[in-house]
């Protein structure tokens, strides 16, 4: 397993996060500059500056220079006013009105992400309807025809979502690569990343968090729904725990290779999982932070990652199912 491949991507995002004025540990001058450079690199790659030039009538170079100054100003200002500073500044940089900016967003904006989440919402509704029908004690032809029709709708929906999911994964990968490249360009003294030889995972180990969600049809409807939610959220939790344990371990094992300190990396972890939602998600946040900080030393082998995953999974599955009813884990 080459954990540095995943870690370098996550750490690039962590470094970008640290460059925003929202953390107790204030970013350094270099981190502010890095955050700006990463944002500009991503905007260049996506063609955002070309679209803004077409919208405003200004040159791309002028807009880029304006954005650099704007982001520097907002990052150094009152952190509670960052979003307002940025949104107002965009109009000033482009020299357009609210109405023109809205029209440009409609004309030049990429709506693929919005389409994906709209389809995702539709999928959830269809799946809930299908689950409700499957829980009924009805063997009539009409009942099974409804189920067949819903399953066909879901199948068609998944086919429509597949290219959008692939595009989103590719976009995320490009952003991570751009961020990592900016880290390396800015700090040429960073040591080369060490690659780790593969460790084969012993055969016969159960990894339920990677498998298909089982059927809970044998349970009462309310409990079945709660268990389904629990299964999905626990799988999300496992993914987050392994990524962050890996990230913490990467910096601790080779601090000279990353543009972020161990203290800052841990702060980014605590900031992301801040246990301030007022729901059971807070307990999940606390456990993600706990396991990531306690078990990072095992996150450089397949077996170690399996053990970390299993610890998170076993804890999550041991919680009362009712804690997961209507629990929004969209940020996991």
Q: What are 255's two structure tokens?
A: 């601090």
Rounded Cα distance between 143 and 134, Å, is 9
- State the pLDDT at residue 237: 95
Cα torsion angle, 235, 111, 88, 33, sign: positive
Rounded Cα distance between 304 and 244, Å, is 13
- State the pLDDT at residue 286: 96
Rounded Cα distance between 55 and 50, Å, is 9
- State the pLDDT at residue 98: 85
Which has the closest alpha carbon to 169: 244, 224, 112, 215? 112
Q: Is 251 exposed, middle or buried (0-12, 13-18, 19+ CB in 10 A)?
A: buried
- State the pLDDT at residue 242: 92
Mean pLDDT per 10-residue section of the chain, whose length is 332 residues: 38 46 58 85 88 91 93 83 85 88 77 80 87 84 92 91 84 79 73 60 74 84 92 93 91 78 88 88 96 91 90 97 90 68
- State the pLDDT at residue 3: 36
- State the pLDDT at residue 203: 59
Evaluate whether 317 touches 227 at the Cβ level (below 8 Å): no
- State the pLDDT at residue 193: 62
Q: What are 232's two structure tokens?
A: 């999905």
How many helices and strands in the chain, by DSSP H and E? 12, 0
Element at 70 (helix H, strand E): helix 60-76
CA 88 from centre of chain: 27
Cα torsion angle, 78, 81, 85, 86, sign: positive
Rounded Cα distance between 235 and 239, Å, is 7
């Amino acid at each position: 397993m080459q954990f540095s491949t995943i870690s370098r991507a996550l750490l690039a995002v962590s470094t970008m996060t640290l460059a925003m004025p929202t953390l107790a540990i204030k970013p350094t001058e270099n981190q502010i500059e890095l955050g700006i450079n990463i944002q500009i690199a991503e905007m260049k790659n996506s063609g955002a500056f070309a679209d803004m030039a077409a919208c405003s009538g200004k040159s791309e170079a002028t807009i880029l220079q304006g954005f650099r100054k704007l982001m520097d100003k907002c990052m150094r200002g009152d952190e509670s006013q960052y979003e307002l500073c940025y949104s107002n500044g965009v109009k000033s940089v482009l020299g357009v009105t609210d109405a023109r900016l809205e029209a440009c967003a409609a004309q030049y904006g990429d709506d693929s992400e919005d389409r994906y989440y709209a389809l995702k919402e539709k999928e959830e509704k269809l799946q809930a309807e299908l689950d409700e029908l499957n829980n009924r004690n009805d063997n009539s032809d009409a009942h099974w025809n409804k189920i067949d029709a819903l399953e066909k709708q879901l199948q068609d929906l998944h086919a429509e979502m597949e290219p959008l999911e692939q595009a989103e994964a590719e976009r995320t990968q490009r952003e991570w690569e751009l961020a990592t490249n900016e880290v390396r360009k800015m700090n040429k003294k960073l040591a080369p990343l060490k690659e780790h030889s593969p460790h084969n995972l012993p055969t016969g180990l159960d990894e339920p968090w990677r498998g298909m969600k089982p059927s809970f049809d044998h349970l009462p409807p309310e409990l079945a729904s709660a268990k389904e939610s629990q299964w999905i959220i626990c799988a999300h939790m496992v993914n987050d725990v392994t990524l962050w344990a890996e990230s913490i371990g990467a910096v601790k094992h080779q601090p000279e290779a990353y543009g972020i300190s161990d203290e800052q990396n841990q702060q980014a972890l605590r900031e992301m999982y801040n246990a301030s939602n007022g729901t059971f998600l807070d307990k999940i946040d606390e456990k993600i932070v706990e396991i990531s900080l306690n078990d990072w030393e095992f996150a450089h082998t397949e077996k170690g990652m399996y053990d970390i995953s299993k610890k998170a999974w076993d804890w999550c599955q041991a919680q009362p199912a009712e804690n997961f009813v209507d629990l929004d884990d969209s940020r996991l």
